Structure 1
Amino acid sequence: MLLESMKASTPAQVTEIDVTEEINVSRIQLNDEREATPEASTPSTLFPKITGKVDDLIKNYTKRFGYRFSTKYPTIKLTGTVKLHGTHADIVIEPDNTVRIQSRNRLSLDVEHDNYDVAASLLPLKKEVLELRDRVKARWHQLNRPKELNEDDPVILAGEWIGPGVQKKVGISKLPKRCFVILSISINGHWQDCEKYTEIHNESAGIHNIARGGFFHEVLDFKDAVTLEKCKEKLMAHTMDVELECPFAKSLGISGVGEGIVWKAEYPLSEDPRFWLKSKGPEHRVTQTDKLRKGEMKAGAGEKAKVFAEAAVGEMRLMQAWDYLGEMGIKRDKAGTQAFNEWLVRDVEVEEKNSILEMEVDKVALRKAIAGIARTWYYRKLAE
């Protein structure tokens, strides 16, 4: 039934890859090898990619602390905030008071290279942004005295640009105008405890704080499979409530569905994004790979990769790749097929890394299967 339902919601697959696509798949592999070469560089200010799986967070936790557990079965306290379905954007304030707007993939947006007019809307608010920066620093000093603030690090107000025309079929798309919502704050080179910075906003200027949607609290207990499954069910119960009625939209007097929840481990562990995760309701999930079982996978590298690709690449992930082209200024035409495919391959390989290893999915075969899905969907989209 799972595979049947996935086939019903996934675009028709291409069973063969032509010579051009074979070359393109190889090019992605070569790019990966070059990117693996360590190079000294300034840490990127781009927002980190958040895993969507509880099991990935647990693996990161045990890898870091497994040999120092004070108890046999540790628990992780989680704090959740509403996940907003818009387009990601960050306000980066440099030490010299320079303000820039970055997207998920571009370090700098401007009025000529924008993403849903986020830069055009926020760059004129420099005075208000610098005032928010000063309030963030004042709050940090209040919480961390006598520690010193590193004035060489930028202050980052990471957030989501939401409102009419950005995304569809969610409550916040009914807002009368677009606005920026602060989701996370980085200062002194570390992500801060979001519950300690709830007053950082300027709603009259269209800059809100995600705290308006409230906080969720749960405990992740992974002493055994049964207990862990119950914890996952609790997280999903909150998520389903948000999908039914978005608390953030409701706080602004709007009724409509939400996307999900972003969960962070208890501070200071939450300084590290490896201990964040996101949970989405059925309408907004980009992957179904957590429902696959290794023993039920078809034999053969090609068949296994095809089933995995169909589970990993659904409509939401395909739309994210489509939006990526717009964000990067890549023309959406036949020539853009390669960039579209490359984004999908990398996104799947990053977010599904552990599942790919556990399922023993061949990477080359997976890239070919993703390319087939990408080409069929992309050409259909171009024809609309």
Structure 2
Amino acid sequence: MAAMISYPETLQFRQAITDANNYACPSSDGHGKQLPVLNFIGTIKLHGVNAAIGYQKGSGYWCQSRNRVITPNNDHAGFAQHIYPIADEFFIAHVLPDCPTIREHYQYGDRIVIYGEWCGGNIQPNVAISGLPTMFVIFKQKRSRTYWLDPKEWTNIKWHERSIYNIFDFPTYTIEIDFNNPELSQDTLTRITEQVEQQCPVGVHFNRIGIGEGVVWTEWTNTGGNLTFKVKGREHLVTQAKALVSIRVTKLTNIDEFIEYACTENRMRQALDYMREQNVPIEMKTLNIFLRWLGEDICKEEKDTMNASNISAKEVIRVMTKKAEAWFMENITESRKRNNRQRRTGKN
């Protein structure tokens, strides 16, 4: 039976700095704690939709998007339609033979979940991989609900003939981060992100010119893949942060400044993406769903900023609603105009 095992949210660098406290050890002088010095692997962050294939012995396989189990008849962006006909063969011929750890835990009855980005085609616009044939790019694998599998176990899992790739097929990066002095890593993280944004390395692989979204950084040796963070390029940020790589919480002076910072067009477009994933029509009668997701996302992702700025969730919802409702209405109007133009010109 399909059992949804959601992919966790990926943190910002400033939040990873806070989480690094969980891996601190006593300082050499016996006073206080010494934060760790950790080595991270950076992989290209692709702009598509989060998707996964799950397997369990005796229960078969299932597909999922970020928030729900999907099927060919109740799909998201065509992922299940692509995977269902090949899921068994992929696992039997391309996963189990190449990964003894997965094979062992699968035999024990553990759930195996293969996460990746379903991207290309018209899934997301304005990036280098837009317009390429749709592909599933594996970026992480989990057994049960808790344990990430080390990349050494699964970097060979792919099936290019069926448009299944591995994120390690493409360029990767490394950085050592001293969490006692995280500011020393800011310039390197920023430089790498700007390079990826200027020209997506995955696009280069497929001979496509265009921008990339950013980089995801993961530490494996000491944290088992649990300490991870993302750095997006300027065009994909969901806040009006002054720096790509912030090490401290932004403190804002009032609620209007906070809404300008947090309630951005990119974030509102993410709310529309959520509605599409849930098969919710984007129209005025579903405005409440749009506002609810947007408010929850802002209050979750920017909780530390809200606390530092002494701003309550109630204030956020009140002021956000006016801005977001106007944007939502404008988006619907523009969509109708675009659809009317397409009908007049006979385009689909």
- Give the one of 306, 310, 325 matched to 2:260: 310
8 Å contact 2:24–2:36 — kept in the other structure?
no
- Give the one of 53, 61, 64 matched to 1:102: 64
* Per-residue deviation, 1:74: 2.8
8 Å contact 1:91–1:157 — kept in the other structure?
yes
List structure 1 runs of 4+ shifted beyond 6 angstroms.
147-150, 292-296
Q: Which has the higher contact order (CA 8 A, sep 6+)?
A: 1
Residue 127 to residue 73, structure 1, CA distance change in 2 (3 Å): closer
8 Å contact 1:212–1:251 — kept in the other structure?
no
Report 1:1-384 matches (<5 A). 45-51=5-11, 53-62=12-21, 64-66=22-24, 68=26, 72-106=34-68, 108-131=69-92, 132-135=94-97, 137-140=99-102, 151-175=108-132, 177-188=133-144, 189-224=146-181, 228-272=182-226, 275-289=227-241, 297-298=252-253, 304-384=254-334
In 2, Cα distance between equivalents of 1:122 and 1:207: 9
8 Å contact 2:128–2:209 — kept in the other structure?
yes
Q: TM-score, normalised by structure 2?
A: 0.85
> Which residue identity lines up with residue 376 of structure 1 in the other structure?
A
8 Å contact 1:156–1:186 — kept in the other structure?
yes
Matched with 2:344 is none
8 Å contact 1:75–1:222 — kept in the other structure?
yes
Single out whichever of 324-333 and 88-97 deviates more from structure 2. 88-97
8 Å contact 1:139–1:197 — kept in the other structure?
no
Single out whichever of 308-317 and 157-166 deviates more from structure 2. 308-317
Identity of aligned residues (%): 26
In 2, Cα distance between equivalents of 1:259 and 1:169: 10
Structure 1 SS opposite 2:316: helix
Residue 136 to residue 45, structure 1, CA distance change in 2 (3 Å): farther
* Per-residue deviation, 1:190: 1.0
Structure 2 SS opposite 1:317: helix
Cα offsets for 1:342-367 (capped at 9, x unmatched):
11111112221222222222211012
> Which residue identity lines up with residue 116 of structure 2 in the other structure?
G
Structure 1 SS opposite 2:130: helix
Q: Name the structure where helix makes up a greater proportion of residues.
A: 1
Q: Name the structure where strand makes up a greater proportion of residues.
A: 2
Single out whichever of 313-322 and 281-290 deviates more from structure 2. 281-290
* Per-residue deviation, 1:297: 3.4
RMSD over aligned Cα atoms: 2.5
8 Å contact 1:93–1:133 — kept in the other structure?
no
* Per-residue deviation, 1:69: 5.3
Residue 43 to residue 122, structure 1, CA distance change in 2 (3 Å): closer
* Per-residue deviation, 1:193: 2.2
Task: Identify unmatched segments of 5+ residues in structure 1.
Answer: 1-41, 142-146, 299-303
> Which residue identity lines up with residue 59 of structure 1 in the other structure?
T
* Per-residue deviation, 1:368: 1.4
Matched with 2:339 is none
8 Å contact 1:195–1:211 — kept in the other structure?
no
8 Å contact 2:249–2:304 — kept in the other structure?
no
Structure 2 SS opposite 1:331: coil
Task: Identify unmatched segments of 5+ residues in structure 2.
Answer: 335-348
Q: TM-score, normalised by structure 1?
A: 0.78
